Amino acid sequence: MTRTTLWTLAIAGVVSSVACAPGESSSRSDTSAGGAPATATTGGVDLTGAGATFPQPLYSKWFSDYAAKTGIRINYQSIGSGGGIRQLQEGTVDFGASDAPMTDEEMAKAKGGPILHFPTVLGAVVITYNVPEITQPLNLDGPTIGDIFLGKITKWNDARIAAQNSGVSLPARDILVVHRSDGSGTTYIFSDYLTAVSPAWASGPGTGKDLKWPVGLGGKGNEGVAGQVKQTPGTVGYVELAYANQNKLPVVRVKNAAGSYVAPTIESITAAAAGAVEKLPPTTDYRVSIVNAPGADAYPISSFTWLLVYERQADATKGKKLVDFMRWALTEGEASAAALDYAPLPASLGARLVERLASIQVGTAS
């Protein structure tokens, strides 16, 4: 009798632990469809969205500010860009959010027709390190960063690092690379940059949210990478700007396309967008990478984060509320970005995007 019970427990334990991870996806779609209960003040339709975790702090501020102003409640679940895209494709959410633009293949699978990309704010990836001997700011160019993360540069006093940092005392320590182990928009932006500036990287790991890393350790989340870097002398890793700022991590100044070494700041990231946007054609769909952007002040490892919406909004009420919200976000909303360590869009781009909202067809006619 006792033995049977033990066996039941053993098997149940194994099964539940196995079943747990893949089961997540179904529970997510359940919760998103429900949405928050409508408040008495509005009587209006709530919007639901899902996607990227990176802009989540800003988006939640936007949604609460917007609810306070208009009474319209928006429910956003930061389940990751991949999950957001999948839910938008299925039509279980009203909008998606992603740190990486959707591919043509992904767009083709959307059940509700063409999807429009609207940049909302800018993010940046910073390179952080732990070398107790280095006290001055460290300068690195793209190919050097690429070779460090490829494992080709293995010592902190490598000639190529020294050449860019005259006057900085570099120790003969081994370099230990720390990268993200979980699929992440941060990894996407970082690898997108390295693909742009380092041919060896482009033909090797390439661009993606998960990569085949040639060297290093994987940490889970920004905190996993930063934790490992803080604890281990000789490490180098990458995290998103907001995380590095809030935790006061040392950051590398990266050489941009104009040849100057630029520290990641709100201004230098917005400058990157401004430089990149000038070159965009008027008909752009905004699925563009702005890494290694032109401009003397541009920080090169920057990227848009996007809201994803269907061009044809089947539900006229919801569609109108969505467009109204986006207009508010792209104008008044941008003002609260910098306080949360997000770089706002350049003003010219914001104006262009507000005009573009008119291309969203609201209503049943299509």
Partner 1 sequence: MSDATRPLVTARPDESGLGARIDGSAVGDTIYRWTTTAFALCVPLLLVFIAMEVAAAAWPAVRSFGFGFLTSSNWDPANGSFGAAPAIYGTIVSSVIALVIATPLALGVAVFLSEFAPSWLRQPVAFLVDLLAAIPSVVYGLWGIFVLQPLLREYVMPFLAGLPVVGRSPLFQGPAYGPSMLSAGLILAIMILPFISAVSREVLMAVPRSQREAALALGATKWETIADAVVPYARSGIIGGVILGLGRALGETMAVTMLIGNVHQISASLFAPGYTMASLIANEFAEATGDLHLSALMAVGGVLFAVTLIVNALARWLVWRVSREARA
Do the Cβ atoms of 275 and 268 come closer than 8 Å? Answer: no
- Beta bridge partners of residue 361, listed in sequence order: 312
* Binding test (CB under 8 A) with partner 1, winner from 50, 148, 176, 252: 176
Rounded CA-CA distance 263/139 in Å is 9
* Binding test (CB under 8 A) with partner 1, winner from 184, 292, 302, 303: 184
Answer positive or negative: Cα dihedral of 221, 222, 227, 233. positive
Cα 216 to the center of its chain, rounded Å: 22
Interface with partner 1 by CB under 8 A: which range of 178-186, 318-326, 333-341, 351-359? 178-186
Which residue from 354, 349, 326 is spatially nearest to 63, judged by alpha carbons?
Answer: 326
Q: Toward partner 1, which CB reaches closer, 232 or 364?
A: 232
Answer positive or negative: Cα dihedral of 143, 148, 150, 155. positive
Q: Does 220 bind partner 1 (CB under 8 A)?
A: yes
Residue 22 CA: distances (Å) to CA of 25, 90, 177: 6, 18, 30
Interface with partner 1 by CB under 8 A: which range of 179-187, 267-275, 302-310, 331-339? 179-187
Q: Does 202 bind partner 1 (CB under 8 A)?
A: no
Helical H segments across 35-128, by residue range: 56-70, 81-90, 104-108
Do the Cβ atoms of 207 and 192 come closer than 8 Å? Answer: yes
Q: Toward partner 1, which CB reaches closer, 35 or 208?
A: 208
Q: Does 80 bind partner 1 (CB under 8 A)?
A: yes
Strand extents, DSSP E, the chain: 47-51, 74-77, 95-98, 115-130, 139-140, 176-180, 217-219, 235-240, 253-255, 261-262, 302-310, 312-313, 343-344, 361-362
Q: Does 183 bind partner 1 (CB under 8 A)?
A: yes
Interface with partner 1 by CB under 8 A: which range of 36-44, 210-218, 250-258, 350-358? 210-218
Phi, psi of 120 (to 5 degrees): -115, -55
* Binding test (CB under 8 A) with partner 1, winner from 65, 90, 210, 267: 210
* Binding test (CB under 8 A) with partner 1, winner from 27, 136, 231, 283: 231
* Binding test (CB under 8 A) with partner 1, winner from 32, 144, 191, 222: 191
Cα 305 to the center of its chain, rounded Å: 6
Q: Does 77 bind partner 1 (CB under 8 A)?
A: no
Q: Toward partner 1, which CB reaches closer, 129 or 299?
A: 129
How many residues form the binding site for partner 1 (CB under 8 A)?
56
Q: Does 20 bind partner 1 (CB under 8 A)?
A: yes
Do the Cβ atoms of 90 and 111 come closer than 8 Å? Answer: yes
Q: Which of residues 23-52 bind partner 1 (CB under 8 A)?
A: 24-25
Q: Does 21 bind partner 1 (CB under 8 A)?
A: yes
* Binding test (CB under 8 A) with partner 1, winner from 9, 33, 200, 351: 9
Using CB under 8 A, list all residues that contact partner 1.
2-3, 6-7, 9-22, 24-25, 79-83, 85-86, 103, 106, 174, 176, 181-185, 191, 205-213, 216-220, 224, 227-228, 231-232
